[in-house]
């Protein structure tokens, strides 16, 4: 397996300490908040873990600056995806789903219901062109990935774990925004279920898993770049 992180946007006007850390009341923005999604290549298969978004209007509304990653992603994926995992329903994780008609989509049932409400035209089309598998608890996918509904960040917030050699990686979505939450075992400040979020963080720490969140700039800084906005993790 090859695994890559795509850095597609910077800044977020709500990325303050209150949002990122439970019980922290500081209103200042936390440095190092970026927007990422992940791409795996297994032989000829392209797997996406979330899809990002591309609307300049949406970006402006959230105080976010989109980066020009279109050609880099095209070079990496060939403009297609065979399998897409969705960690949860928020705009920055799902709005590019319409670019990948025909893919197999794995998503929590609760998250898909929210996506359908927010994007009825897109989801109606995807239900016709793609294979959408809605999960209520957890499932093995292709013998390589385990998709698990956590329900911490949102009701349908999910993670995807997999083995590479002796290491276990987990694409953690927004169960925490930063690696620091895992390292210091501090729950997310923006949660549907604090208890489920806290338990997931403890399990990652206890089992020595390598978390890959969606908003931590250190992911881009610690792994080798293959292009301006993409790094290779595996």
- From residue 18, how far is each of 27, 35, 157, 163, 193 by CA, in Å? 6, 18, 20, 33, 16
124-138 pLDDT, tens digit per residue, is 999 999 999 999 999
Q: What pLDDT was estimated at residue 18?
A: 97
What own/partner pairs with CB < 8 Å and gap ≥ 24 does 194-198 have?
194/22, 194/152, 196/150, 196/151, 196/152, 197/150, 197/152, 197/153, 198/152
For residue 50, what are its two tokens? 């979330």
Domain borders along the chain are 2-232
Mean pLDDT for back-to-back runs of 10 residues, the chain (234 residues): 98 97 97 97 97 98 98 97 98 98 97 98 97 98 97 98 97 97 96 98 97 98 97 98
Q: How far apart are CA 124 and CA 139, in angstroms?
A: 24
pTM: 0.97
CATH of 2-232, one of 3.40.50.920, 3.60.15.10, 3.30.230.10, 2.40.30.10: 3.60.15.10
Q: How far apart are the first and last CA of the chain?
A: 7
């Amino acid at each position: 397996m090859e695994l890559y992180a795509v850095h597609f946007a910077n800044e977020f006007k709500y990325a303050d300490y209150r949002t990122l850390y439970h019980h922290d009341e500081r209103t200042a923005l936390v440095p190092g908040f970026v927007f990422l999604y992940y791409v795996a290549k297994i032989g000829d298969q392209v797997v996406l873990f979330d899809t990002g978004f591309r609307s300049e209007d949406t970006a402006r509304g959230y105080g976010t600056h989109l980066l020009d990653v279109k050609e880099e992603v095209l070079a990496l994926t060939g403009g297609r995806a065979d399998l897409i995992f969705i960690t949860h329903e928020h705009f920055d994780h799902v709005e590019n789903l319409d670019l990948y008609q025909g893919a197999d989509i794995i998503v929590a049932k609760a998250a898909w219901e929210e996506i359908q409400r927010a994007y009825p035209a897109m989801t109606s089309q995807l239900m016709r062109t793609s294979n959408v598998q809605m999960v209520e608890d957890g499932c093995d996918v292709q013998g390589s990935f385990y998709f698990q509904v956590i329900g911490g960040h949102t009701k349908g917030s999910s993670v995807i774990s997999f083995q590479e050699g002796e290491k276990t990686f987990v694409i953690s979505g927004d169960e925490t925004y930063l690696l620091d939450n895992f390292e210091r075992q501090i729950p997310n400040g923006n949660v549907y279920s604090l208890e489920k979020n806290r338990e997931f963080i403890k399990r990652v720490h206890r089992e020595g898993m390598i978390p890959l969140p969606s908003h931590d700039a250190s992911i881009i800084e610690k792994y080798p770049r293959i292009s301006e906005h993409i790094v290779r993790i595996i």
